[in-house]
């Protein structure tokens, strides 16, 4: 056991945030901590890490355990370079190595009687250096820095010159190198692209210590967590398995509690009826009194509380655009004098749902702003179709006037809409009471995001552009936005790193690269499988070309008839494998879509059947891919 709490409670004024929390964090286990914004997740982390001292109940921490904690705004020593921050983790190792080199120099030319004592000291340093894997320290530093996106960076660069996202990534890298017994991460995925996310997920999956992570990234939770803690209405519930397993178990638990409550209420009603009818009769009075006693001693089942209230949104429009919504030809995107990406050729039709992905800094946000005329293109052209009405969600909600109240922001932008309708729209995104009349700079990031979505609802546009719309939203809000966008029958173009989101919504994924775009007609899983296949196929072709290229002076032989026949059979099998893979991928996409539906994930047997089918399909796909790569090689 690393950490446990007993009846832990915490209040702020008259508001109780945590109520009798009992939790245990075991060695080598991985926990996801979830809950709506403001549920108390950060408060709980502050208490168990010692940042908050005033609370009720008990917290037990294994004194021999080391704990590493990454907050959402972790601080680094701004005066250090990247290299100094990383090497600082192994300062004792590098100091031992320095002392070993000094002892080596000292041993040169010493007489035997003095050499023996120095050699004994050297052996002690050597043993310590080996126990800390000193020879692997530099390799570890390079591996983690590469994984977190610092592979091509100048290691002498000052931490002070890094962006906020880069500092967060560097803080994660430093914690990973420290290898604490318990690694606590608060929203670690916010500033990572897909490559970094994949690397971090793989790294954490084989991490030797325990993990406690707060995240709204459902895909990440599915990959790294084998237990889920949920804080809801101040109470903590624990679930075995990842996020998908949690969804099933929670639905089953709520249904079981509802039935237990209803059955007990029925029993209580029957007992009270019997008591009322029989308490006055001499012959049955004793029996009635025994039921009164039973009622007094009965352990009452708590009435199940309804679901946590979440926002409810829907997007509609008045007037459809023409079939051709957007066309770009050779579009180049850049900021200032620097071109980020070029040769962007798109042909987007009415009703398309397009996700735009790419590495950090490649120009995804700049592309949206170029299409909106906010920044000029660096070349090429774009043209919106007739009758298009566009709404735009800006990543940091910079298009809101932070000096206004939420209500005034809407009233000024929609002067022809009744105040009652504006209040109703704000209420639908859970902005009500005093929050409506707070200035926007005083409300939370999640509330600002909801206000921006509220504006889009009221604009009734037939084309919606979204730049990272889930960044500040909790899980229920993300799921509600996901539902609303799936139901929206207009045209959608969005940038997102939320892979769960990317699996549910897009009809196509466009990957932006510096020299152009790659288009994938499917969701994120399809993109991932196809891009990996293309990458492996490209590597196989390069390997084949290198192998077939004759060495200088080597004779070149023509293929025999049997070789040509074998080549024809190979190509035929490749075509068949591509067809089988495409059919199996489509079937898997349908199954993955099915398990997100309530009628499936609330039915344990059906959910199990679907998950088994998905697993079988993925095993077959792996076999097909292996054969495909062998044939291509």
3-class secondary structure for 474-490? CHHHHHHHHHHHHHCCC
Listed residues 478, 504, 522: the one ending a domain = 522
Strand locations in 29-140 (E): 30-34, 56-61, 67-70
Half-sphere exposure of 58 (CA within 13 A, CB side): 5
pLDDT per position as a tens digit, 595-621: 777 777 667 678 778 878 887 888 788
Tokens linked to 420? 């009652």
pLDDT per position as a tens digit, 110-128: 887 788 888 889 899 899 9
What is the rounded distance in angstroms from the CA atom of residue 579 to the CA atom of residue 144? 39
Work out the percent of the chain whose per-residue pLDDT is above 70.
94
Secondary structure letter of residue 196 according to DSSP: H
For 7, phi then psi, to 5°, come to 50, 45
State the SS3 of 522-587: CCHHHHHHHHHHHHHHHHHHHHHHHHHCCCCCCCCCCCCHHHHHHHHHHHHHHHHHHHHHHHHHHH
What pLDDT is attached to residue 556?
Answer: 45
What pLDDT is attached to residue 555?
Answer: 45
Closest CA to 161 of 284, 76, 229: 76
Cα distances from 62 to residues 42, 238, 283, in angstroms, run: 21, 21, 63
Q: In sequence order, what are the beta bridge partners of 162?
A: none
What pLDDT is attached to residue 57?
Answer: 92
Average pLDDT over residues 311-327: 92
Instruction: Give residue 38's pLDDT band: very low, low, confident or very high (50, 70, 90).
Output: confident
Average pLDDT over residues 517-524: 90
Q: Is the pLDDT of residue 25 over 60?
A: yes
Tokens linked to 354? 């397009």
Q: Report yes or no on 76 lying in a domain.
A: no
For 343, phi then psi, to 5°, come to 55, 45
Instruction: Give residue 31's pLDDT band: very low, low, confident or very high (50, 70, 90).
Output: very high
Q: Are residues 287 and 343 in the same domain?
A: no
Q: Report yes or no on 48 lying in a domain.
A: no
Q: Are residues 345 and 423 in the same domain?
A: yes
Dihedral angle over CA of 199, 201, 205, 211, nearest 10: 120
Mean pLDDT for the chain? 88
Average pLDDT over residues 261-277: 91
Q: Three-state DSSP class for 181? A: coil
What pLDDT is attached to residue 531?
Answer: 82
Average pLDDT over residues 371-400: 93
Q: Are residues 476 and 562 in the same domain?
A: no
Dihedral angle over CA of 434, 439, 445, 448, nearest 10: 90
Q: Are residues 361 and 465 in the same domain?
A: yes
Q: Is the pLDDT of residue 449 over 90?
A: yes
Instruction: Give residue 344's pLDDT band: very low, low, confident or very high (50, 70, 90).
Output: very high
Q: Are residues 508 and 616 in the same domain?
A: no
Q: Report yes or no on 153 lying in a domain.
A: no
Q: Are residues 334 and 281 in the same domain?
A: no
Least confident of 105-109, 219-223, 303-307, 565-569: 565-569
Q: Are residues 518 and 557 in the same domain?
A: no
Secondary structure letter of residue 415 according to DSSP: T
Q: What is the CATH number of the domain that holds 369?
A: 3.40.50.300
Cα distances from 14 to residues 17, 40, 283, in angstroms, run: 10, 15, 53
Q: Are 571 and 632 in contact (CB under 8 A)?
A: no
Max avg pLDDT among 104-113, 183-192, 449-458, 543-552: 449-458
Paired sense of beta strands 463-467 and 353-357, if any = unpaired
What pLDDT is attached to residue 546?
Answer: 66
Q: Is the pLDDT of residue 26 over 60?
A: yes
What pLDDT is attached to residue 561?
Answer: 58
Instruction: Give residue 494's pLDDT band: very low, low, confident or very high (50, 70, 90).
Output: very high
Q: Report yes or no on 124 lying in a domain.
A: no
Q: Is the pLDDT of residue 398 over 70?
A: yes
Please tell me the chain's helix, strand, coil percentages from 3-state DSSP, rounded to the nearest 5.
50, 20, 30
Q: Is the pLDDT of residue 441 over 80?
A: yes
What is the rounded distance in angstroms from the CA atom of residue 234 to the CA atom of residue 20? 8
- How far is residue 21 CA from its own chain's centroid? 26
Q: Is the pLDDT of residue 367 over 90?
A: yes
Q: Report yes or no on 151 lying in a domain.
A: no
Q: Are residues 462 and 366 in the same domain?
A: yes
Cα distances from 505 to residues 208, 354, 405, 512, 564, in angstroms, run: 36, 8, 32, 18, 45
Q: Three-state DSSP class for 341? A: strand
Q: Are residues 600 and 467 in the same domain?
A: no
Q: Report yes or no on 234 lying in a domain.
A: no
Q: Is the pLDDT of residue 182 over 50?
A: yes
Q: Is the pLDDT of residue 557 over 60?
A: no
pLDDT per position as a tens digit, 203-253: 998 898 999 999 999 999 999 999 999 999 899 999 999 999 999 999 898
Average pLDDT over residues 135-147: 91
Q: Is the pLDDT of residue 552 over 70?
A: no
**Domains in the chain, number:** 3
Tell me the Cα Rg of the chain.
31
Least confident of 341-350, 373-382, 491-500, 551-560: 551-560
Closest CA to 453 of 425, 493, 415: 425
Strand locations in 188-308 (E): 210-214, 227-232, 235-240
Q: Are residues 430 and 567 in the same domain?
A: no
Q: Are residues 408 and 279 in the same domain?
A: no
Q: Is the pLDDT of residue 185 over 50?
A: yes
Q: Are 318 and 463 in contact (CB under 8 A)?
A: no
What pLDDT is attached to residue 20?
Answer: 93
Measure CA of the first residue to CA of the last residue in the chain; give whole Å.
Answer: 50
What pLDDT is attached to residue 559?
Answer: 54
What is the rounded distance in angstroms from the CA atom of residue 156 to the CA atom of residue 80? 9
Average pLDDT over residues 82-104: 91
Q: Report yes or no on 393 lying in a domain.
A: yes
What is the rounded distance in angstroms from the CA atom of residue 220 to the CA atom of residue 209? 18
Q: Are residues 589 and 467 in the same domain?
A: no
The whole domain housing 592 covers: 553-632
What pLDDT is attached to residue 623?
Answer: 81
State the SS3 of 425-472: HHHHCCCCHHHHHCEHHHCCHHHHHHHHHHHHHHHCCCEEEEECCCCC
Tokens linked to 132? 């800390």
Q: Report yes or no on 538 lying in a domain.
A: no
For 134, phi then psi, to 5°, come to -60, -35
What is the rounded distance in angstroms from the CA atom of residue 36 to the CA atom of residue 232? 8
What pLDDT is attached to residue 191?
Answer: 78
């Amino acid at each position: 056991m690393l950490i446990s709490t007993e009846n832990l409670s915490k209040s702020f004024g008259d508001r109780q945030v945590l109520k009798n929390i009992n939790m245990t964090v075991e060695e080598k286990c991985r926990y996801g901590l979830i809950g709506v914004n403001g549920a108390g997740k950060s408060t709980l982390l502050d208490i168990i890490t010692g940042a908050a001292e005033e609370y009720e109940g008990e917290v037990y921490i294994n004194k021999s355990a080391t704990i590493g904690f990454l907050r959402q705004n972790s601080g680094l020593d701004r005066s250090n370079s990247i290299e100094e921050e990383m090497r600082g983790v192994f300062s004792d190792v590098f100091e031992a190595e320095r002392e070993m080199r000094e002892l080596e120099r000292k041993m040169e030319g010493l007489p035997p009687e003095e050499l023996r004592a120095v050699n004994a000291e050297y052996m002690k340093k050597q043993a310590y250096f080996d126990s800390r894997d000193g020879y692997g320290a530099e390799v570890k530093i390079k591996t983690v820095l590469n994984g977190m996106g610092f592979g091509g960076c100048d290691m002498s660069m000052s931490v002070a010159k890094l962006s906020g996202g880069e500092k967060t990534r560097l803080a994660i890298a430093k914690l990973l190198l420290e290898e604490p017994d318990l690694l606590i991460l608060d929203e670690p995925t916010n500033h990572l692209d897909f490559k970094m996310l994949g690397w971090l997920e793989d790294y954490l999956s084989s991490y030797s210590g325990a993990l406690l992570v707060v995240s709204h990234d459902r895909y990440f939770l599915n990959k790294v967590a084998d237990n889920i803690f949920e804080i809801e209405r101040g109470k903590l519930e624990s679930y075995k398995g990842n996020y998908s397993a949690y969804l099933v178990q929670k639905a089953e638990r709520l249904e079981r509690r509802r039935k237990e409550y209803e059955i007990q209420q029925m029993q209580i009603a029957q007992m009270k009826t019997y008591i009322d009818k029989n308490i006055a009769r001499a012959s049955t009075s004793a029996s009635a009194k025994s039921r009164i006693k039973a009622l007094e001693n009965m352990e009452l089942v708590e009435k199940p509380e309804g679901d946590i209230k979440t926002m409810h949104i829907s997007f509609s429009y008045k007037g459809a655009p023409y079939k051709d919504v957007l066309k770009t030809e050779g579009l180049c995107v850049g900021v200032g004098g620097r071109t980020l990406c070029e040769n962007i050729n798109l042909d987007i039709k009415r009703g398309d749902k397009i996700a735009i992905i790419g590495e950090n800094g490649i120009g995804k946000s700049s592309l949206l702003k170029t299409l909106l005329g906010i920044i000029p293109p660096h070349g090429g052209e774009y043209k919106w179709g007739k009758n298009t009405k566009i709404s735009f969600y800006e990543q940091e909600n910079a298009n809101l006037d932070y000096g206004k109240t939420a209500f005034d922001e809407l009233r000024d932008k929609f002067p022809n809409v009744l105040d009652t309708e504006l209040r109703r729209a704000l209420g639908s995104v859970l902005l009500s009471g005093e929050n409506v009349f707070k200035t926007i700079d005083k409300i939370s990031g999640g509330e600002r995001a909801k206000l921006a979505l509220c504006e889009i609802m009221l604009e009734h546009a037939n084309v919606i552009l979204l730049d990272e719309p889930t960044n500040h939203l909790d899980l229920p809000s993300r799921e509600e936005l996901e539902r609303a966008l799936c139901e929206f029958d207009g045209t959608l173009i969005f940038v997102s790193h939320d892979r769960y989101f990317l699996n549910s919504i897009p009809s196509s994924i466009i990957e932006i690269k510096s020299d152009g775009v790659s288009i994938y007609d499917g969701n994120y899983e399809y993109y991932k499988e196809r891009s990996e296949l293309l990458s492996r196929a490209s590597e196989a072709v390069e390997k084949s070309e290198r192998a077939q290229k004759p060495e200088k002076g080597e004779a070149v032989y023509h293929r025999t008839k049997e070789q040509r026949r074998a080549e024809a059979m190979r190509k035929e099998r490749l075509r068949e494998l591509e067809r089988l893979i495409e059919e199996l991928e489509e079937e898997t996409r349908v199954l993955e879509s099915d398990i997100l539906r309530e009628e499936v994930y609330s039915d344990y047997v059906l959910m199990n059947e679907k998950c088994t089918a998905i697993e079988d399909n993925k095993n077959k796909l792996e076999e097909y891919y292996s054969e495909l790569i062998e044939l291509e090689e």
